[in-house]
C-alpha cells in the first residue's frame, strides 16, 4: 500500500470520527440552538366599525373629509380654526300668536309670518341674519285638531341660507285658526356646516314629526339614523339641547361621526379641537 493511500484512509477515518462525535453531541446534548422567531406583525384589534371610528378621530382624516365634502357641496373648505369657533346663538322663548293677514314678527334672527296656502295654515320663516342659519321654531296651532292630516309641503327643516326663506305647513285650514310660537332658536353656521346639517334627519335633533315630515334632504349620501333613546331622554330632561346637537353636526359629517352624550355646544372659540370624539376612540 502506498503512502498516499494510507494518508487518504486516515483522512476518511478522521472525518468519520468527527461526524460520529457531532451526531452524538446532538443526540445526547440537545438540539442545535437557533435564533428565536421574530414576533408576528401587530394586527389592529376590533370590529371594522370600531377601526373606522378610530381612524376618523384623526385630524388628518377629518381634514380630508372636510375637503372632499366642501367640493361636493360646491363651497369653500373651512379651516380647522374656523370649524373650532363658537357659533353665534339666539333664543327666544316668549309665547307669541300669529294670525293670517297680520304683519310678520322678527325674533331670534328670523322673520315669521302666518299664511294660508289653499287648504292649509302655513308658516313662512325668513332668515334675518347676514349668515346661513340653522333654526328651530316650535309652534302649536290653535286649535290643533286635524293637523297631522294636512298635506306636507317640501321644505328645509334644518337650515335657511343667507337672504332666503322657507315655508312649512302647520295644520289644515279652518276659520279662526291661529299659530302660537312657543320657542325660537337659531345658530349662524358656515356654508359647509349648513350642508352638513341638511343631511341630518330633523327627528335626530328633536324636531317633532308634524314638522319633520316635510323635510327634503340634499341628493347624495344620507344619514338614516333615528334619535337614540339616551339622547331623546336627555332632551326630555333638558340635559341635552337642540343647540348641542346642531353645534355637533355643524362640525361633523353625520355619515361618519356620532353625537356623544357628553358633547355640549362650544361656548368660546377654540374650546376643543375638531373632530370632537369620545376619549375611548
The DSSP-derived string for 38-86 is PPPPP---S-HHHHHHHHHTSHHHHHHHHHHHHHHHTSPPPPTTGGGSP
Condensed to tens digits (0 to 9), the pLDDT of residues 83-119 reads 999 999 999 999 999 999 999 999 999 999 999 999 9
pTM: 0.80
DSSP for 126-192, written as a single string:
EE-SSSEEEEEEEEEEES-TTGGGSPP--B-SSEE-TT-EEEEEEEE--TT-EEEEEEEEEEEE-HH
172, 173, 177, 180 alpha-carbon torsion, rounded to 10°: 50
**pLDDT tens sequence across 189-199:** 999 999 999 99
Whether cis (ω within 30° of 0) applies to the bond prior to 275 is yes
Structure confidence by residue, pLDDT tens digits, 133-163: 999 999 999 998 889 889 999 999 999 999 9
The three cell numbers locating residue 228 = 337614540
Tell me what pLDDT residue 55 has. Answer: 81
pLDDT of res. 221: 73
**What average pLDDT does the chain have?**
85
Query: Residue-wise pLDDT tens for the chain (281 aa)?
Result: 444 455 545 454 544 555 555 545 445 444 445 556 655 554 445 444 444 556 889 999 999 999 999 999 999 999 999 999 999 999 999 999 999 999 999 999 999 999 999 999 999 999 999 999 999 999 999 998 889 889 999 999 999 999 999 999 999 999 999 999 999 999 999 999 999 999 999 989 999 999 999 999 888 777 867 778 888 899 889 999 999 999 999 999 999 999 999 999 999 999 999 999 976 54
Give the pLDDT score at 148: 87
For residue 122, what are the β-bridge partners? 115, 169
- By percentage, how much of the chain surpasses pLDDT 70? 79
Q: What was the pLDDT predicted at 44?
A: 45
pLDDT the model gives residue 278: 79
Smallest CA-to-CA distance from 122 within 153, 182, 168, 165 is with: 168
Amino acid at each position: 500500500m502506498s503512502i498516499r493511500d494510507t494518508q487518504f484512509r486516515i483522512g476518511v477515518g478522521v472525518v468519520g470520527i468527527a461526524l460520529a462525535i457531532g451526531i452524538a453531541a446532538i443526540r445526547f446534548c440537545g438540539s442545535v440552538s437557533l435564533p428565536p422567531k421574530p414576533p408576528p406583525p401587530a394586527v389592529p384589534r376590533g370590529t371594522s366599525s370600531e377601526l373606522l371610528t378610530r381612524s376618523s378621530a384623526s385630524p388628518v382624516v377629518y381634514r380630508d373629509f372636510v375637503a372632499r365634502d366642501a367640493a361636493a357641496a360646491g363651497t369653500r373648505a373651512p379651516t380647522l380654526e374656523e370649524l373650532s369657533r363658537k357659533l353665534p346663538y339666539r333664543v327666544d322663548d316668549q309665547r307669541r300668536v300669529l294670525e293670517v293677514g297680520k304683519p310678520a314678527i322678527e325674533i331670534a334672527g328670523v322673520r315669521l309670518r302666518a299664511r294660508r296656502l289653499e287648504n292649509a295654515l302655513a308658516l313662512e320663516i325668513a332668515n334675518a341674519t347676514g349668515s346661513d342659519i340653522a333654526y328651530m321654531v316650535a309652534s302649536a296651532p290653535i286649535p290643533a285638531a286635524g293637523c297631522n292630516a294636512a298635506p306636507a309641503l317640501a321644505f328645509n327643516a334644518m337650515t335657511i341660507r343667507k337672504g332666503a326663506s322657507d315655508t312649512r305647513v302647520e295644520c289644515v285650514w279652518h276659520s279662526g285658526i291661529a299659530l302660537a310660537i312657543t320657542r325660537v332658536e337659531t345658530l349662524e353656521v358656515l356654508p359647509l356646516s349648513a350642508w352638513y346639517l341638511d343631511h341630518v334627519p330633523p327627528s335626530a335633533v328633536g324636531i317633532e314629526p308634524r314638522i319633520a315630515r316635510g323635510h327634503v334632504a340634499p341628493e347624495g349620501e344620507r344619514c338614516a339614523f333615528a334619535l337614540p333613546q339616551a339622547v331623546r331622554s336627555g332632551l326630555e330632561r333638558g340635559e341635552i339641547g337642540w343647540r348641542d346637537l346642531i353645534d355637533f353636526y355643524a362640525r361633523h359629517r353625520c355619515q361618519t361621526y356620532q353625537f356623544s352624550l357628553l358633547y355640549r355646544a362650544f361656548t368660546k372659540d377654540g374650546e376643543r379641537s375638531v373632530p370632537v370624539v369620545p376619549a375611548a376612540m
